[in-house]
Chains A and B, each alone.
Chain A
């Protein structure tokens, strides 16, 4: 009985120290989340406006001189996958990868992973990776996004792939994050996905100096803007997912400690009772 009690005591201690860690992680995540959420909220209007504008433009577009607009004959895809740097965020990373696997099934594709987990995931699967230099999502700034977009655009123009899609986790609320896959290039695809209602009437648009030149200048910026928006959302989602996961872990640990304490007390009581019985029995033996 005594050794059992010791084991329980040790177990309680270890659960307690785990709880301390999860609690600390929860606090860190929630304080970082506040900042990340602010950043995501600030960049969202731009992100949305940019996307909407490009959708409207490409829905009304009648000029297909730019390679960014044409429907390509190249069936290769490039997925920009935004995941986290670290685990312990519930299903955040695995949900993302599951979603990507779902949409990529049967397609020929390369990936540009953003975030350490994404890099690891695709390296393990020997998937062709465009660039690993954006492995740490925590360090991604606006200028990094421009670099990514320049790289993607260059390869797109070279014909390495014909489609670019962005996979990130949308920050819906503190408690709910949804993995998303949005096609960003070519623009013809973007407009057929979202702009079916407007497809009936094509608005004529004046491009200056020419449609090709306008698209060639705008598209890299549009891409960078979308990626930045995706990254901001994904960072906020990751922290929110981690916070929720850690909160649950802390609650579980508390529950476990309670149970173990009960068990420990019971064992303690049982051993005391046993000792008393032994003493009483021994005393009786002496008198008898």
Chain B
């Protein structure tokens, strides 16, 4: 398949800059994949699993949370709040985070803000676990 250029940036640095065949992310409306020669396109990203397919066919999985995806004149850029490659995620830690968040939610008596944070933490942990489970 025809490759196109992709940049993945987060506040922690530019994580990827190069050619890919395909990029799949979870947008606010659901999963979507971008292939070469896409029309100019902008969407907001949700929380979920993402992957890119390199020109040699290897697939790299990642956890992608928040941000935006844009295609301008054939160049795609993903600007995410967090983007973690599957190999960088600590599965054990994610499990622990999930347990902690679930405990928080089960305990109850949280303020709105605390509830939101606990929910977000749980979501994030679930995404990380999902990405690292083969």
Contact = CB atoms under 8 A, between A and B. Distances in A.
Interface of A: 42-43, 45-47, 49-50, 53, 56-57, 60, 142, 203-209, 213-214, 217-218, 221-222, 225, 228-229
Nearest to A229: B11
Which of B13, B41, B44 has the most chain A CB within a 10 Å cutoff?
B44
Question: Interface on chain A toward B: helix, strand, loop, or mixed SS?
Answer: helix
Question: Interface on chain B toward A: helix, strand, loop, or mixed SS?
Answer: strand
A53 B70 CA distance: 8
Given A53-B68, A53-B70, A60-B40, 19 more contacts: A42-B13, A43-B11, A46-B79, A49-B7, A49-B9, A49-B79, A50-B79, A53-B77, A57-B42, A203-B73, A204-B39, A205-B41, A206-B41, A208-B41, A209-B29, A209-B43, A214-B43, A221-B79, A222-B68
Interface residues of B, number: 26
A49 B39 contact: no
A19 to B, nearest CB: 39
Contacts of A225: 11, 79
B55 interface: no
Contacts of A218: 42, 44, 68
Nearest to B66: A221
B79 A53 contact: yes
Contacts of B14: 45-46, 49
Nearest to B45: A217
